[in-house]
């Protein structure tokens, strides 16, 4: 009995050794995932985009902004002149933190007889990582300013600086509001990719692809026909998940749901295009599924699911620009939390259209070369 078990186990090892694709997956995928995730998470948050509305226009307010810009965590990129300009920058996701320095900041800072100086911090609460790191950085910079400029007389409390922080889009920093919509986008991505990636390869394994090729069906009709079921099933899955998110977890949708649905359909078409390419290039369902998991590992790392894309190394930020999941996740979160319209997510829409076009061209050429 033991001998038979050992023989079967040895046979399985031999089969695994012959499958070069599986060996590459077993070695490359875990190693790559560990390297990418550890590299990203070890960096910590950096270069968080900040807009500073300086209504005081004094040497001290300029020094505070310069010190904030000098930190590793934040970079001041915009200097709006009005509250509306600042809010527009936050709504369009051009910045994640807004600083308001009111008039009289320096006077109150240097006068122990007046009320403490005040600063308002508007933090993007839709990203828990940014929201949790914004306030400590601002408080740290103010602490250094106080240590440099204030000589506190014995027995006198000068009051310091009061920071009024407000979390936009997610006032209570509810982590579910950040995790669940992102996970919904990732699950939709996985479902669409797996369904599309097993389409043609299943026909190869059952031997029915040759029969389809000798029918009057044109090649383009065959590719489109094989893509429709994954698209429809993925859209149905998206609607089901949205129902759970909205009614099960009470996460509001501040934007137009029809726009969100159209965005999801566009992203699903792009993902199905990628899955179709995988299905054409692989030889069996095992290879297709393993390749899907390998791509999913990469997508988790570069899509912003675990860490903001802006905080990644420049090479990974470049890869993120060709990630359908990254564009889908960014645009869907903008619609859900900030009520974004199509003009505000136009870069993501154009990127998804480019991915659809590229995947269609690659799928067509691969089909003609490897199948037809």
Same domain, 161 and 179: no
Q: Report pTM.
A: 0.69
Same domain, 142 and 76: yes
Residue ending a domain, choose from 168, 184, 207:
168
Domain that holds residue 245: 175-370
| Calpha distance 244→237 (Å, rounded) | 11
Same domain, 362 and 241: yes
Q: Mean pLDDT score of the chain, rounded to an integer? A: 77
Same domain, 132 and 202: no
Q: Kindly state the average pLDDT of the residues 82-87.
A: 87
Per-residue pLDDT tens over the stretch 202-247: 777 777 776 767 667 777 777 888 888 888 888 988 998 888 888 8
Dihedral over Cα of 297, 303, 306, 310: its sign? positive
Same domain, 160 and 184: no
Same domain, 127 and 187: no
Q: How many domains does the chain have?
A: 2
Residue ending a domain, choose from 168, 190, 221:
168
Share of the chain above pLDDT 90, in %: 12
Q: Kindly state the average pLDDT of the residues 101-123.
A: 78
Q: Kindly state the average pLDDT of the residues 129-137.
A: 68
Same domain, 307 and 208: yes
Same domain, 136 and 235: no
**DSSP alpha helices (H): ranges in 165-284?**
175-197, 199-206, 209-213, 219-243, 257-281
Among 106-120, 151-165, 193-207, 299-313, which is the least confidently predicted range? 151-165
pLDDT of res. 259: 94
Per-residue pLDDT tens over the stretch 33-64: 445 544 544 455 667 788 888 888 888 888 88
| Calpha distance 222→189 (Å, rounded) | 23
Share of the chain above pLDDT 70, in %: 73
Residue ending a domain, choose from 142, 168, 194:
168
Q: Which residues of 90-115 are buried (b: 16+ CB within 10 A; e: fewer)?
A: bbebebbbbbbbeebbbebbeeeeee
Same domain, 110 and 222: no
Asked, for residue 118, whether it belongs to a domain, the answer is yes
Residue 58, domain CATH: 3.40.1710.10
348 pLDDT above the threshold of 70 = yes
């Amino acid at each position: 009995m033991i001998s038979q078990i050992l023989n079967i186990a040895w046979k399985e090892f031999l089969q695994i050794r012959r499958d070069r694709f599986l060996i590459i997956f077993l070695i490359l995928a875990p190693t790559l995932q560990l390297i990418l995730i550890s590299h990203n998470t070890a960096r910590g948050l950096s270069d968080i985009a900040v807009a500073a509305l300086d209504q005081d226009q004094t040497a001290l307010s300029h020094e505070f902004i310069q010190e904030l810009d000098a930190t590793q965590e934040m970079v001041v990129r915009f200097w709006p002149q009005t509250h509306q300009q600042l809010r527009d920058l936050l709504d369009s996701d051009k910045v994640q933190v807004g600083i308001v320095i009111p008039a009289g900041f320096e006077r109150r800072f240097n006068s122990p007889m007046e009320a403490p100086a005040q600063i308002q911090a508007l933090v993007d609460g839709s990203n828990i990582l940014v929201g949790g790191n914004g306030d400590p950085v601002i408080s740290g910079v103010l602490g250094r300013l106080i240590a440099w400029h204030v000589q506190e007389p014995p027995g006198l409390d000068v009051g310091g600086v009061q920071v009024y922080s407000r979390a936009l889009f997610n006032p209570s920093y509810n982590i579910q509001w950040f995790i669940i919509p992102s996970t919904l986008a990732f699950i939709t991505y996985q479902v669409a990719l797996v369904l599309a990636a097993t389409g043609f390869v299943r026909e190869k394994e059952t031997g029915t692809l040759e029969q389809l090729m000798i029918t009057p069906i044109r090649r383009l009709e065959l590719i489109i026909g094989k893509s429709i079921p994954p698209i429809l099933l993925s859209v149905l899955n998206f609607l089901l998940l949205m129902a759970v998110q909205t009614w099960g977890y009470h996460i509001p949708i501040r934007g137009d749901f029809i726009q969100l649905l159209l965005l999801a359909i566009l992203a699903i078409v792009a993902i199905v295009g990628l899955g179709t390419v995988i299905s054409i290039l692989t030889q069996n369902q095992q290879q297709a599924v393993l390749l899907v998991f390998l791509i999913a590992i990469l997508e988790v790392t570069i899509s912003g699911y675990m860490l903001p894309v802006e905080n990644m190394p420049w090479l990974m930020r470049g890869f993120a620009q060709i990630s359908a999941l990254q564009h889908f996740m960014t645009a869907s979160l903008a619609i859900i939390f900030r009520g974004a319209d199509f003009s505000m997510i136009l870069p993501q829409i154009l990127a998804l259209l480019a991915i659809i076009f590229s995947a269609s061209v690659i799928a067509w050429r691969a089909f003609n070369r490897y199948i037809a």
